[in-house]
Amino acid sequence: MGNVEPSHAFFADKLEQAKIHFERALDCKHTEFDDLYPYMIEHPQFFWYKRYVAWSELLTIVKLAVELEMPWTEHFTDRQAEYIRNRVMSSKVLDYWYETNESKEHVG
């Protein structure tokens, strides 16, 4: 194989796919992971593991983009980008990935 110059469009597409994969896992929607391990659906830890796999994929794509000095933060909100920079998928990431100011409930 010769030198292959990765394009910004290629990484932008891979980053978008990884983001969608993570968000589908976060929402407990079908992903290709379900097809690879259909028996796992019967186990309670399945959804946590599925999210972990998708999160790892997202972090890997972002790491490659950073190493290649390609922009990645524009695909995420500021809060999401900060979660990715912190690299730890905590309950905070799971609970607030989609949070917007409009979604906050007010007690009154």
**pLDDT per position in the chain (108 positions), as tens?**
556 666 888 889 999 999 999 999 998 888 887 787 777 777 777 778 889 999 999 999 999 999 989 999 999 999 999 999 999 988 889 889 997 644 444 344
Q: How far is CA 4 from CA 10, 31, 100, in A?
A: 12, 30, 40
Angle (deg, nearest 10), helices 8-26 and 46-67: 160
Q: Is 101 strand, coil or helix?
A: helix
**Which SS3 state, helix, strand or coil, does residue 72 take?**
coil
Query: pLDDT tens digits for 69-94?
Result: 999 999 999 999 999 999 998 888 98
pLDDT of residue 3: 62
For residue 25, what is the enclosing H or E element?
A: helix 8-26
Identify whether the C-beta of residue 89 lies closer than 8 Å to the C-beta of residue 51: yes
